[in-house]
Structure 1
Amino acid sequence: MASQNDHFASIDIGSHTIRLLVARSNEKLEIYPLRLERRITRLARNFQEGQTLKTPGIRESLRVLEEYAGILKCHGVSDVACGATGVVRKAGNGEEFLAEVRQKTGIAAEILSETSEALLSAKGVLSVIPRTEGYILSFDLGGSSTEFLLLDTRREKPLWHTSVFIGAATITERFLSEDPPPLEAVSRAVEAIQDALAPVFQAIGSILPAPPTPFPLQVVGTAGTATTLAAMNLKMTDYCPSRINGLPLTENWLTATIEHLVRSTLALRREIPGLEAGREDIIPAGALIVREILRGLKQTHLIVSDAGLLEGLLLDLIEKKYGRPQALVSPLTWRMQKG
């Protein structure tokens, strides 16, 4: 049984970044974030489906996780939830990589199934956005995969979910590696994105009622591409999650931003306020995927959530520790002041 002095942590081993969240919780079901870290490791660099993780990405990821292990010890963390996604799930040596993580850091990481990743991401998203009536499509866009989950706020369980092996890093490496990329390559990237997403739109169209419907669809995006685009929209030099949560991004703004990005060199992109260092090469591909999601769903805008898988992992961990049911909408409440 947890006490009010227990510290918890979650770690998200993604295809492009590894993130850490340390927090304190109490029996009033309040969570006080204490530390948030993010490191770009590019575990998916040069990865193609069916292949193995490459040595440079493994070494950098192990270095970061060893750093995180020190942070966990410093904060006296009692419980850790560590989930690996996308590229680790697909890689032939994913389990071997996580075994090495356990050996060198003591962190017991596990590969999340597509279903678990989608549910935990949505759990994190729903914990920070206002509760509205209607259908919600949550998407978690990572470096090598994108998870979709369709919800009806009148129901406790999701209506549908899937994972598509397409992400900001994989599209960049296949089509947009030149600096800047030729417009022909951008067109090929758009076609590949549309082909990959077509089954998603077909499935959603078969589930949602035909218009007009009294319950509109709200599209919510999370993870690095969505939050970076939101920071760029706000020209945010000092990242602030509370300003990101609930921010709308329109298709028109995305199109204008994409046109600017694909015509800019990497050096010029690095000067864009809000564009996180290390994402300047993959952000055009990420923005293209987000825009094609909106177009395929015939939506004019999406809502951005800073919270996602990392927060969902932490919520799920604390609920289990307190013996609470694992609900999609968590009874836990975030408290932004540090405890």
Structure 2
Amino acid sequence: MSKESVTVAGIDCGTNSIRLKIARVDADGMHEVVPRILRVIRLGQDVDKTHRFADEALERAYVAAREFAGVIAEHPIDGLRFVATSATRDAENREEFEDEIERILGVRPEVIPGTEEADLSFLGATSVVNRDDLPAPYLVVDLGGGSTELVIGGDGVSAPTTQVQGAFSMNIGSVRMTERHLTNDPPTQTQIDEAVADVDEHIDEAFRTVDAGKARTIIGVSGTVTTMTALAMGLKEYDHTVVDGHRLSLEDAYAVDDKFLRMTRVERREYKTIHPGRIDVVGGGAVVWSRVLARVSEAAKADHGEAIDSFVASEHGLLDGIVLDYGRRLLAQ
């Protein structure tokens, strides 16, 4: 006899942060048991250059994993899924990481390809979409530390929140752009120009797979997007309940992205809205985000004569997709 609901834990281990959520999944969707816990571990430290995990980065990941193991032990669950993304895909010594995580948590990390990461991000982001307020197709942009996923889906008629029409994972993100280009503090104009050119080259490649011009709504997920949105809103401290679902004009997004890109790290520290673990890389994320927004808006205008002038920030993305997808699979067994 199949269960009516399952309680699952999901872990999203990215290039800059690792996150845990425990939720009950049933036919109606996902219901939080333990809200998201986030720790900035910078697992992808120098991976873009060395293609290896640094010892200190691994230790930060293990500390967080042990903390998460303690949280999970306090809650009866039907299963745990640990997903690792961009940095782990690129690290030549990832087996060492996988072995230790399995020892700590009892499950081996799933190192998923960028396309699956994109699909799960789309599932998580669109699972809470109000179809009446946000017209499909949706373009979900998941801007991480090491990679950025573009996913378009929803035909506006049948199952618009689950139907993926195109997905691509770009090997660029806030940490990669910072380590690769924005090495001065603040970055020089030459470094900014080189970062923009790098991002545009990756977007060109992505657009050959993802028909971004068909999008009617842009949904931005990830710490970079929500942080920059909070800054544009003038929040003194980060409040996810206010940021989640907020619609921001592209004009306001460009202004705040450029402002914080050109700041020194000391100046950024004055803003309590920015997580301390993002202070040094938020500029790299701002470059990626502003270029994606501009290019998608231009593509939409070329496709149907009307540029997109705003986006929706979402607290729901890859982690939600991991939990929801895993829970549904357990229910189907």
Q: Note the residue ranges of structure 1 that are not aligned, 5 or more in a row.
A: 210-215, 325-339
Q: Deviations over 1:47-99 (max 9, x none)?
A: 12771222111111011001101110012333112110111112222233112
Counterpart mapping for 1:98-137 below 5 A = 98-131=98-131, 132-137=134-139
The amino acid of 2:153's aligned partner reads L
Q: Is the 8 A contact 1:262 1:284 kept in 2?
A: yes
Counterpart pick for 2:149 among 135, 147, 150: 147
Counterpart mapping for 1:145-294 below 5 A = 145-153=147-155, 154-156=157-159, 157-205=163-211, 217-294=216-293
Distance in 2, Cα, partners of 1:259 & 1:140: 20
Distance in 2, Cα, partners of 1:236 & 1:70: 33
Cα distance, 1:246–1:28 mapped onto 2, change above 3 Å: closer
Over the aligned positions, Cα root-mean-square deviation in angstroms equals 2.2
Q: Is the 8 A contact 2:69 2:104 kept in 1?
A: no
Residue 334 of structure 1 is matched in structure 2 by none
Distance in 2, Cα, partners of 1:282 & 1:315: 29
Distance in 1, Cα, partners of 2:29 & 2:314: 21
Post-superposition offset of 1:208: 5.1
The amino acid of 2:167's aligned partner reads H
Q: Is the 8 A contact 2:137 2:154 kept in 1?
A: yes
Distance in 2, Cα, partners of 1:173 & 1:60: 19
Which 4+ stretches in 1 moved above 6 angstroms?
none
Post-superposition offset of 1:194: 1.1
Q: Is the 8 A contact 1:20 1:68 kept in 2?
A: yes
What percent of counterpart residues are identical?
A: 27
Post-superposition offset of 1:122: 0.5
Structure number with higher helix proportion: 2
Post-superposition offset of 1:243: 2.2
Q: Deviations over 1:262-303 (max 9, x none)?
A: 332211101124212211111111111111011112233221
Residue 327 of structure 1 is matched in structure 2 by none
Post-superposition offset of 1:30: 5.3
Q: Deviations over 1:209-240 (max 9, x none)?
A: 6xxxxxx5211111111111122223335544
Q: Is the 8 A contact 2:261 2:286 kept in 1?
A: no
Post-superposition offset of 1:14: 0.4
Residue 311 of structure 1 is matched in structure 2 by 320
Q: Is the 8 A contact 1:248 1:302 kept in 2?
A: yes
Q: How many residues align?
A: 316
Give me the TM-score of the superposition, normalised by structure 2: 0.87
The amino acid of 1:252's aligned partner reads E
The amino acid of 2:235's aligned partner reads M
Residue 72 of structure 2 is matched in structure 1 by 72
Q: Note the residue ranges of structure 2 that are not aligned, 5 or more in a row.
A: 299-307
Distance in 1, Cα, partners of 2:313 & 2:327: 25
Distance in 2, Cα, partners of 1:41 & 1:161: 27
Distance in 1, Cα, partners of 2:332 & 2:49: 39
Cα distance, 1:318–1:248 mapped onto 2, change above 3 Å: same
Q: Is the 8 A contact 1:245 1:306 kept in 2?
A: yes
Deviates more, 1:63-72 or 1:239-248: 239-248
Deviates more, 1:273-282 or 1:228-237: 228-237
The amino acid of 1:37's aligned partner reads I
Deviates more, 1:65-74 or 1:129-138: 129-138
Distance in 2, Cα, partners of 1:49 & 1:159: 33
The amino acid of 2:287's aligned partner reads L
Residue 303 of structure 2 is matched in structure 1 by none
Residue 20 of structure 2 is matched in structure 1 by 20
Q: Is the 8 A contact 1:49 1:90 kept in 2?
A: no
Q: Is the 8 A contact 1:85 1:111 kept in 2?
A: yes
